[in-house]
Amino acid sequence: MTFPPIVCVVGFHHARGPEIESWFGVDDGQDPATDNDWSYLPFMALSDGAHASIEDFSYFTLRRRATSTNPSSSVFGISCTRQMDANDLLNRPADVTRSTVQKAVVAIADSPQSFGHLREKLSMVTGAWFAQKDFTDVEILKEFQESLVQSSQDQEYDRDLYLGLSLRELIHEFKHQSLVLFKCCLLQPKMLFFGSRCERLCMIQFALISLIPGLLRRLEDCADPEFDSYEKNLVAPASLKTSERNSLLAYMGLPLQLFGKGALFGPYTPLQQLDVLADYGTKSYIVGSTNSLLLQQKDRYSDILINVSPGPGLLKISKLILLKLDETTISITSASLRSALTLSAADRRWIDFLSQTVTDTWDEANPSRPCTMGYMGSEEFIRLQFEEYILALLASVKYHIYLTSSISPPPLPTIEGDPISDFGPDWIHAWRQTASFTLFNTRTDTHLFDIVDPRHPTAGNLSLEDIQRRLALQIQTLHLDDRLATSKEALNRHLATGQKKVSTAFTNLWADIEALREAQLQRHAKTTSTPPPTTTTPTTRFNEKSSPPATSPLSSTAPSLTSSAGVAGGINTASVTAAGQKAGAYLSSWGTWAADKRKGWARMGSSGDLRGASAASAVGTGTGGMGKVTAVVGTGWGIGRGGKEKEGRERSWEGSNSPVKGRKEAIGGDGIGRLDA
């Protein structure tokens, strides 16, 4: 261990801004910030926008100067920022004039590979220190620094290497564009990440570079573009142990060094460090910022801008390419870069399979592990997939170089054609222009394709299955279920309400109809149970000496229109409905009367004693063959033209041994006699 972990406290002064307040783990009177020219450390520890959250973390790199015993190298810092109400302090200093107090506890180590474990401890210590409400009590910070030294001595080299670097979240968020970002890193452009949350911003960058096997362990040159110790000290392996993974990776030229001469890595880079980015000697970098002012000069400071703020992800390559991740729209002004960053059919098939696996095993409660608790879709599964991809890429490039530089027949008959076509010939051409490829090509064997099969993991042309899989992923990217959930819920609610209203309307209508029918039946029952009023017929006279005529089935009187009208007129109807009901009752009574008449006519027709349709009663008397027949004229009256009523006359006929015939003669007001049989 060449650099023991140290701890410091950075506070925000209302007049001087961010400043270092104290150091832990250094000799008395020693100031590492002054010794190593860490003038930007306070701005790196207190990131822009950290006051907007209760707790936030910042990751950054620092340049450590050479000493008599150690050369210059990079060190890595992680800070935990918190704030509290100044009125809650038990001992409030006089220089605290603002309503809130903001401080950051910073831990600095020589390697970022244990940052996952360190982040959890730093969060607990910072929270406990703030809970004391007394910043003068720093005993807990001293013990924290001592524990870090002990942990760095005891931990294994690979322990907690990837803790906190969630590749599942990277693949789930960026989908197939994650492969675009990975291949763009290998081209060593100027990449700028922007986001409102510093921790998320930094962890995406660490997750991206961790896809290159072994790179996190070899970042000693990443803090300064002038550093180049890795290339100077690199020795090509002379032997290979295929049974050992690390030996195989080293023989294949891994890790590919992205941060050598002229390159810089700054997960969080404050505005004060922009002069380093704009320096002529800085050729490429991967940096992050939370200050939106940098977006106004994105064309100057970046070749590619990745916006990882909450909401739709935006991937923009200024001057060159524009990728809007959620809409997957790409606008490229440079034809060469357009071809280089366009995924081939095999590339798209490979990343679609990986994305689909992550999506199928996604767990919202715990995104870092598959919901099936299995190997498929896990962090280790993703890393091995990328490792297989990059090994096949390196072997294919070596095979391509051999084919183009040798006149001998292909050494591998099983490989058809040039395998780099599946990785994108334009991307291969662009990569061969980088410093990373130059270092790889000069320090590796020319026949790497004898160790690893030079074939794309999903080699082949575009097929129907690829199209179906791509369409399925695009449909999933639209999140139609989530977007239509609210609409479906509202539609179902309105349908249920409408169904209820329609059902209620029909129920009420049916109840009204039933009530109307009941009222009609009650009126009809009253009408039929009450005998019709007796009508006095002035045109009918009976012989006082004779007995009343016999009752005939046809002698019943029809309901009087006059009497019904009188009843209707006597009732003050309140509505048209009441009038309709009365009219219906009236028509019903007429129908009942007509039915009674039809029955009477039927009985008379069957007896055969009468002819015609007149209403009469025949009473026969007599002895010895003599009979007297009396024809009784039924009750009736007529109104003549003059308006004078004429009486009907009753006549009798007597005869012997002759058929009996009855006749009624009524003389109307017009003087014309009518005979009704």
pLDDT class for 417, splitting at 50, 70, 90? confident
DSSP 159: T
The whole-angstrom separation of Cα 443 and Cα 589 is 117
Give the C-alpha separation, 131 to 54, whole Å. 13
User: Which token pair is 40?
Assistant: 């930007």
**Bigger pLDDT: 122 or 504?**
122
Output the pLDDT for position 9. 96
Q: What percent of the chain has pLDDT over 90?
A: 41
Angstrom distances, CA of residue 46 to CA of 82, 115, 331: 10, 18, 36
Q: d(Cα 208, Cα 222) in Å, to the nearest integer?
A: 15
From the list 374, 364, 343, 332, the residue with the least C-alpha distance to 175 is 343
Instruction: Count Cβ atoms below 10 Å from residue 191 Cβ, excluding itself.
Output: 23
Q: Tell me how far apart the alpha carbons of residues 577 and 280 are, in angstroms, rounded to a whole number.
A: 97
Query: Where is average pLDDT lowest: 155-164, 294-303, 462-471, 637-646?
Result: 637-646
Identify which of 623, 616, 601 has the alpha carbon closest to the alpha carbon of residue 651.
616
* Segment 633-646 mean pLDDT: 39
DSSP code at position 547? P
Both tokens assigned to 112: 């970022």
**Tens digit of each residue's pLDDT (9 = 90 or more) over 602-627:** 666 555 444 443 433 333 444 333 43
Count of helix runs (H) and strand runs (E) in the chain: 20, 19
In the structure, what pLDDT confidence band is assigned to residue 483 with cuts at 50, 70 and 90?
Answer: low
CA 560, 563, 569, 571 dihedral sign is: negative
The HSE-up count of residue 249 (CA atoms within 13 Å, CB side) is 16
Cα separation, 382 vs 353, in Å, equals 11
Query: Would the pLDDT of 639 be above 50?
Result: no
Phi first, then psi: what are they for 85, rounded to 5°? -70, 130
By CB atoms closer than 10 A (0-12, 13-18, 19+), residue 121 is: middle
235 alpha carbon, distance to own chain's centre: 53
Q: Sorting pLDDT into bands at 50, 70 and 90, what band is 650?
A: very low
String of DSSP letters for 422-484:
GT-HHHHHHHTTSHHHHHHHHSS-TTGGGTS--S-TT-S---HHHHHHHHHHHHHHHTHHHHH
Which has the minimum average pLDDT: 28-32, 39-43, 664-668? 664-668
d(CA 30, CA 427): 50
**Does residue 543 surpass a pLDDT of 60?**
no
Within 55-214, strands assigned E span 55-64, 73-85, 100-109, 190-194
First to last CA, the chain: 142
C-alpha 78/C-alpha 112 separation (Å) is 9
Predicted confidence at residue 551, as pLDDT, reads: 42
- Is the per-residue pLDDT at 64 higher than 90? yes
Arch. (CATH architecture) of 1-161: 2-Layer Sandwich (3.30)
* Cα pseudo-dihedral 144, 148, 151, 152, rounded to 10: 180
As a whole number, the mean pLDDT across the chain is 77
Residue extents of the structural domains in the chain: 1-161, 561-607, 618-676
Is the bond into 225 cis (omega within 30 degrees of 0)?
no
Name the β-bridge partners of 194: 289, 307
Q: How confident is the model at residue 672 (pLDDT cuts 50, 70, 90)?
A: very low
Residue 630, classed as helix, strand or coil, is strand
